[in-house]
Every structure is written in C-alpha cells, then in structure tokens.
Amino acid sequence: MLGVIVSVILIHSCDPAATSVTVEAPSEVIESEILPHLKELADDKYMGRMPFGPGDPMSVAYLVDQCKKMGLQPGNNGSYTQSVPMVEITSTSTEPMTIKNSSGTKEYQFGKDYVIHCQKTVDAVDINDAELVFCGYGIQSDQSGWDDFAGIDMKDKVAVVLVNDPGFGGEDSTFFKGDVMTYFGRWTYKYEEADRQGAKGLLIIHETNSAGYPWFVVQSSWTGPQLGLEKESVQNGADIKGWIHLDMAKELFASSGKDLSALIKEARTPGFKPVSLGSTMSTALSNVYKRDASDNVIAYVEGSTQPEEYVLYSAHWDHIGVGAVVNGDSIYNGALDNASGTATVLAIAENLTQQENKPERSVLFTFVTAEEQGLLGSEYYALNPTVPINNIVANINVDGCNPNGRMKDFQIVGYGHSEMDDLAAVELEKQGRYVLPDQEPGKGYFFRSDHFNFAKVGIPALFGEGGYDHEEHGIEYGKEKKAEYTAKNYHAPSDEYDAESWDMSGVVQDAQLYYNIGWQLANSDVWPKWNPESEFKRQKTLVD
Ligand SMILES: [Zn+2]
C-alpha cells in the first residue's frame, strides 16, 4: 500500500518528464507569511482568545479578513463562519452518593470520594437505588470482538468501569496495543459508550497509573462549569457520569462481597461478562446551564479538476483567555498554542492562492474554536460538515509549532494509524529529515487535538509535533527546549512571542512540510487509508 502512494507522489513531483503534464513544485513558505499573523493573534489585545470572551469576535474577524484578502472562497454556504452553539453546565451535588448492599448503607463525599456531573440540559437529576454493574473497561468493539456489556440491558443501571483498556500494563503489544493507549482507553469513549448502552449512569474507577494523572486532576477538571456541545446522543444518554476514587471502589466491591483485583483480571480476559455488584446507588444533582456560541472560520480554494474532493487543514484559533496572575501577567496569550498553528495554516493558504496553477483537488481550511474546552469546534464541524465527510481525503492538523529552530526529525503523534505517516515520510525525506514515531504513545496525545474528531468520522489525519533532533545542537538540546516549554510556558501567561528566544526557522520548516504534504495530496488521486490495526475506519469504502 505504501508503494502506491510513493509512486504516485514521485510521478507528480520528481520525474522531470512528468512535471509538464502534472503540477508545478510547491512554492516556498517564508517567515514573513507566518510571523505577522502569529504576533497579531498572540497580542495582549486578543485577551487570550477565549471563546465568548472579548478576544472571540476579534479573532474571528481577523481570520475572516485574512481569508478574504487572500482570495479564499467562503466555506460555509457563502459565509466564512460557522456558528458553534455550546452549552455550559454547572452541576451541584444536592444529595451525597449513598451505596446500599447487604453490608448496610454508606454515604460518600463529593470531591473526596467521587465526582459526578450531568451533561444534559435538565434542571435536576435524581438517582434512586439504581443497580451497580461492573462492566470491565466499558468497551464494546466489533473490530476487536470485545463486549463488556455482553448480555445485559443497562437501562436504569449504573456501569462501574475501569480506566484505560485491557491491553495496558500487559505483555502483548497486539492486545489493545499493549501500553499504547487506544481510543477505548479514553474517558471520552467510555462516556459515549455509556450513552449508547442506554445506561442510567457511568462511574469510572480512578487509578493513577492507568489514568496517567492523579485524583486531584479528576477532581479539579470535573468540578465547576463544563462546556460542551448540545447533542441528542448526550441528551438521551446517561443521567450522571463521573469518577470514583480507587479507595471508594475497593470499599464498594468488598462490601458487596466482590474481589476487585480478581474482577480486574477477569476484565482483561476475552469472554468477560458484566457482573452485578449486588449494590444500589442513590444521589441527586441540580444543574444550572447557559447557552452561547462561538465561530469556526471556514474557507477553501477550489480544485481545478476534482473540486468535490477536499484536503482539509485545521488549526484551533482559541486559547484559554485571562486567568490567574503569574509573574504579574494574567493574559494567557497562547502564542505557541495555537497562534503559531493558526498563522502556519494562514501561510499555507496564502501560498496556495499564489501558486500559478490551482490544485486539482479543493483545499479546505478550518480555523476551529473551543479546542481547549474539549475539541468542541472541530467536533461540531465533524458532526455538521460543510462538505460531505467522505469527500474529505485527509486532515492535516497544526496545533503548536516548533520555536526551537530547524530539526532533522519530525515527531508523528499517534504514529501507525494511517498512510498519512508514509506520505509525511516521503516529504520529510525530501527535506532531508526523518520520522520520529510518537514518543509517548501511552499518553494518548492522538486523542487530544482537533484531528481526533476528524479521525473519529473516518478521515485519516496527520498530527505532528516538531522534532527533537536539532540540526546544529543535537537531540539533548531539542529535548531540553521542549521540556522547558512544557514546564514554564504550556497553558501559562508566558506562552508569548519573544523575538529573542523564538527561532522561527523551525516553524517555517514545518509549515513547508505541511504545505508540501497537502500540495501532493491535492494533486493526486490518492486516498490515504487507515491501517488495519487502527481503531479508526472510513465510514464507508471509498476506493478499492
Ligand atoms: Zn492547542
């Protein structure tokens, strides 16, 4: 399969005899096409580009203006914007969680022992003596032949499930990819599956190692207002969702005469069946919710010969706004995250409009909102696409660029999912660079930016993350610089543009890479495929 892609690409770009009948070489992306956008969007006046905040309409207006200036076509029925309606829900515990079984009744404490919330636009929910059922990892997958809900109707029942997936911590790297996190390991998947199962509720047992973060992260993330899309699947789904502390889980299982460690072993074994815990749970929540909307900005260049086929670029324009003061600064500028990616995609669009010949396929640009609040803008687009999803050839997502200078390598997050890796490898080689596979595949970064929502609906996606192997200073230097950003600047007011410390040559290098990949795809008839081991698939067969 790789051979097919390579040969097509070679015909289009390297064979001099073919150039006259195919396409011109991609134009050169330069710093001055990126930096002004980056500086503008990272400016204090945008107030950290928080959706619904003062920086929201400013960011959207800036992007629309740039798209118009470049001569891009409006991507949403004559409009450059797509309104993304969202709802912010604050759940408050009105009755603590009580568990009843043959050992008696025990009351637990919100925050300390458990956190739950309600994702529905309802005023209150009441759970009265709902049966608790241990449903393994909460996974139902035809592809893996795995069903943690086998033979049970979850109506009026609350599922108690384990975090991560059955492969985690095991010896077999082919069983749910071993320590590589699959989508089935993410809490988001478990929430969605509980809705699909028609469960009354879902409780995920927290365990630090399998979750990848300690209890306080669960506690702080799931208390207070939660922003989401209003979706029918959620509105018709589980009343409560949340997490229970490992200590509470141990006590709950013991008090109902069950051995948690033995059940965990069972849950990792094919043929596992759900186990009723012989316990019931009661609790109540009240909900306050409000609705608001932000915008995705969408524009495109129409293809010359296959205009109905699209190469999709994405970058989230939003960041986290104004927050706690750190070193006298309260504006979280998000220069790297993601003014840099937005600027990069703008530069790619500009180059495309300046190419003498139009690409054969159309190229679609989505600048999405509310990534930081849970990938909401891209989720909305994936559920409400402006072109048919199956006409989208592939996605290239840019979230954060490399401010540390030119690199010999390029890290592909979620390496191994699709033929986009092979396509990237070909273009990297032309730049004299090499592919660095995902360095932290256990952390599930492939599920943590906008491309993931496109992958979920079947669009093969590429998400890169700079590199480590600095052209001049080597790997240790590259690693140090990356670690420094994560420790000091990630989601901090100091994520600012600084001419002294930023080396834009790496941003330009990657922008050129993203452009070249898109340019090749837009001038070919290749439909990159998902690899058979990936949990993602095209919605229906397109080719072959
Ligand atoms: Zn980001």
174-231 pLDDT, tens per residue?
999 999 889 999 999 999 999 999 999 999 999 998 888 899 888 888 888 889 999 9
Question: What six digits make up the tokens of 528?
Answer: 């990159």
Within-domain flag for 227: yes
Distance (angstroms) between ligand 1 centre and the Cα of 338 equals 5
Distance (angstroms) between ligand 1 centre and the Cα of 97 equals 36
Distance (angstroms) between ligand 1 centre and the Cα of 495 equals 12
Asked if residue 132 and residue 59 are part of one domain, the reply reads: no
Question: What six digits make up the tokens of 523?
Answer: 């001038």
Tell me the pLDDT band of 542, cut-offs 50, 70 and 90.
Answer: very low
Task: Encode 264-288: b = buried (16+ Cβ within 10 Å), e = exposed.
Answer: beebbeeebebbebbbbbbbbbbbe
Distance (angstroms) between ligand 1 centre and the Cα of 355 equals 29
Select from 241, 256, 289 the last residue of a domain.
289
Flag whether pLDDT at 33 surpasses 90: yes
Q: How far apart are alpha carbons 320 and 495 in whole angstroms?
A: 11
Q: How far apart are alpha carbons 387 and 310 in whole angstroms?
A: 8
Distance (angstroms) between ligand 1 centre and the Cα of 360 equals 30
Tell me the pLDDT band of 21, cut-offs 50, 70 and 90.
Answer: very low
Distance (angstroms) between ligand 1 centre and the Cα of 336 equals 8
Distance (angstroms) between ligand 1 centre and the Cα of 448 equals 9
Distance (angstroms) between ligand 1 centre and the Cα of 490 equals 10
Asked if residue 208 and residue 110 are part of one domain, the reply reads: yes
Asked if residue 353 and residue 231 are part of one domain, the reply reads: no
Mean pLDDT of the chain: 92
Distance (angstroms) between ligand 1 centre and the Cα of 75 equals 23
Asked if residue 386 and residue 410 are part of one domain, the reply reads: yes
Enclosing domain of residue 247: 87-289
75 or 210, which is more confident? Answer: 75
Asked if residue 282 and residue 308 are part of one domain, the reply reads: no
Within-domain flag for 146: yes
Flag whether pLDDT at 492 surpasses 70: yes
Within-domain flag for 418: yes
Distance (angstroms) between ligand 1 centre and the Cα of 141 equals 29
The DSSP line for 11-29 is: HHHT-HHHHTTS-PPPPPP
Distance (angstroms) between ligand 1 centre and the Cα of 402 equals 13
**What is the phi/psi pair of residue 366, to 5°?**
-120, 120
Tell me the pLDDT band of 23, cut-offs 50, 70 and 90.
Answer: low
Distance (angstroms) between ligand 1 centre and the Cα of 483 equals 16
Chain-centre distance for alpha carbon 223: 21
Asked if residue 437 and residue 379 are part of one domain, the reply reads: yes
Q: How far apart are alpha carbons 154 and 132 in whole angstroms?
A: 10
Record the pTM. Answer: 0.89
Tell me the pLDDT band of 5, cut-offs 50, 70 and 90.
Answer: very low
High-pLDDT (> 70) share of the chain, %: 95
Task: Work out the average pLDDT over 501-521.
Answer: 97
Distance (angstroms) between ligand 1 centre and the Cα of 159 equals 32
Asked if residue 140 and residue 55 are part of one domain, the reply reads: no
Flag whether pLDDT at 2 surpasses 60: no
Task: Work out the average pLDDT over 522-528.
Answer: 96
Distance (angstroms) between ligand 1 centre and the Cα of 259 equals 41
Distance (angstroms) between ligand 1 centre and the Cα of 464 equals 12
Distance (angstroms) between ligand 1 centre and the Cα of 201 equals 31
Asked if residue 309 and residue 383 are part of one domain, the reply reads: yes
480 or 1, which is more confident? Answer: 480
CATH number at residue 309: 3.40.630.10
Distance (angstroms) between ligand 1 centre and the Cα of 260 equals 38
Within-domain flag for 31: no
Q: How far apart are alpha carbons 48 and 55 in whole angstroms?
A: 7
Task: Encode 64-90: b = buried (16+ Cβ within 10 Å), e = exposed.
Answer: bebbeebebebbbeeebbbebebbbbe
Flag whether pLDDT at 16 surpasses 70: no
Task: Work out the average pLDDT over 47-67.
Answer: 96
Residue type, 336: L
- Residue 539: what pLDDT? 82
Distance (angstroms) between ligand 1 centre and the Cα of 235 equals 28
Flag whether pLDDT at 493 surpasses 60: yes
Asked if residue 241 and residue 208 are part of one domain, the reply reads: yes
Asked if residue 317 and residue 191 are part of one domain, the reply reads: no
Within-domain flag for 99: yes
Within-domain flag for 16: no
Asked if residue 279 and residue 355 are part of one domain, the reply reads: no
CATH number at residue 195: 3.50.30.30
Tally the domains of the chain.
2
Asked if residue 420 and residue 278 are part of one domain, the reply reads: no
Within-domain flag for 102: yes
